[in-house]
Amino acid sequence: MLWIVSGANYLAYAATGLALTLFATHLTRVPLLVSGIAFVQILPAFVLGLPLGVLVDRYDRRLILIVTTALRVSAFALDACLASVDFVPLPLLYALALLLGVTETIEEPALAAALVMVVPREKLERANALLVGAQNIFGLLADPLGAFLVSISIVLSLGASSLCAGLALLALLCLRQTLRLPSRNGRERATRRGTLLRHIGMDIREGLRYLWHERLLLAIAVMAGIINACWSGYLVVMALYAVAPGPLGLSAATYGVLLMVISIGSILGTLLTAPVQRWLGRRWAIGFNVFGNGLMFVTPALTHNLWLIGAALLLGSMGGPMWTIAVAALQGRLIPAGLQGRVNATCRLLSIGMAALGPLAAGLLAQFCGLRTVLILFALVTGLQFIPFFRFVTEDAMMRGQ
DSSP one-letter string for 245-276: TSTT-B-HHHHHHHHHHHHHHHHHHHHHHHHH
Is the pLDDT reported for residue 154 higher than 60?
Answer: yes
> 219 falls in which pLDDT band (50, 70, 90)?
very high
- Residue 379 confidence (pLDDT) above 80: yes
Q: Containing H/E element for 285?
A: helix 283-302
Q: Which residues, including other chains, have CB under 8 Å from residue 309's CB and lie 6 or more apart?
A: 258, 299, 300, 303
The answer to which of 168-177, 180-189, 222-231 has the lowest mean pLDDT is 180-189
Higher pLDDT, 352 or 225: 225
At residue 25 the predicted structure's pLDDT band, cuts being 50, 70 and 90, is confident
* DSSP conformational letter for 182: P
pLDDT recorded at residue 131: 77
What 3-state class would DSSP assign to 370? coil
CB-based contacts of 236, cutoff 8 Å, min separation 6: 21, 31, 34, 35, 38, 358, 359, 362, 363
Average pLDDT over residues 9-17: 76
Q: Which contiguous run of DSSP H or E holds residue 32?
A: helix 31-47
* The pLDDT of residue 143: 65
- Amino acid letter at 218? L
Q: CA quadruple 314, 158, 2, 186: dihedral positive or negative?
A: positive
What percentage of the chain has pLDDT greater than the value 70?
90
Among 274, 301, 296, 271, residue whose Cα is nearest residue 285: 274
Q: Is the pLDDT of residue 288 over 90?
A: yes
pLDDT of residue 193: 46
H-type alpha helices, 86-214: 90-118, 124-152, 154-174, 187-190, 196-213
310 within 8 A of 298, measured Cβ to Cβ: no
User: Looking at the whole model, is its pTM more than 0.85?
Assistant: no
- Using the predicted structure, report yes or no on whether residue 230 has a pLDDT greater than 80: yes
Query: What is the average per-residue pLDDT within 111-117?
Result: 81
Can you tell me the distance from the alpha carbon of 328 to that of 45, in angstroms, rounded to the nearest whole number?
Answer: 18
Residue 329 in this model has a pLDDT that exceeds 60: yes
- What integer pLDDT is reported at residue 189 of this predicted model? 47
Query: What domains are there in the chain, each with its CATH number?
Result: 2-176+195-398 (1.20.1250.20)
Q: Is the pLDDT of residue 153 over 70?
A: yes
Task: Kindly tell me if the per-residue pLDDT of 184 is higher than 60.
Answer: no
Is the Cα torsion angle 8, 12, 17, 19 positive or negative in sign?
positive
pLDDT given for residue 3 in this prediction: 65
Nearest to 112 by CA among 330, 392, 402: 330
Alpha helix ranges (H) inside 352-401: 357-369, 371-383, 386-392, 395-398
Which of 3 and 229 is assigned the larger pLDDT? 229
Of 267, 272, 63, 46, nearest to 175 by C-alpha is: 63
Other Cβ atoms less than 10 A from the Cβ of 36: the count is 23
Q: Per-residue pLDDT tens for 386-397?
A: 999 999 998 887
- Mean of pLDDT values over 144-153: 72
What is d(CA 148, CA 243) in angstroms, rounded to the nearest whole number? 13
**114 has pLDDT over 90:** no
Please list, in sequence order, all residues whose beta carbon lies within 8 angstroms of the beta carbon of residue 170, skipping any fewer than 6 positions away: none
- How does pLDDT run across 170-183, given as a tens digit for each residue? 888 887 776 666 55
As a dihedral over the C-alpha atoms of residue 329, residue 330, residue 335, residue 340, rounded to 10 degrees, the angle is -40
Q: How does the average pLDDT of the chain come out, rounded?
A: 82
pLDDT at 6: 74
Nearest to 328 by CA among 119, 184, 137: 119
Segment 65-89, tens digit of pLDDT:
899 989 988 888 887 887 777 777 8
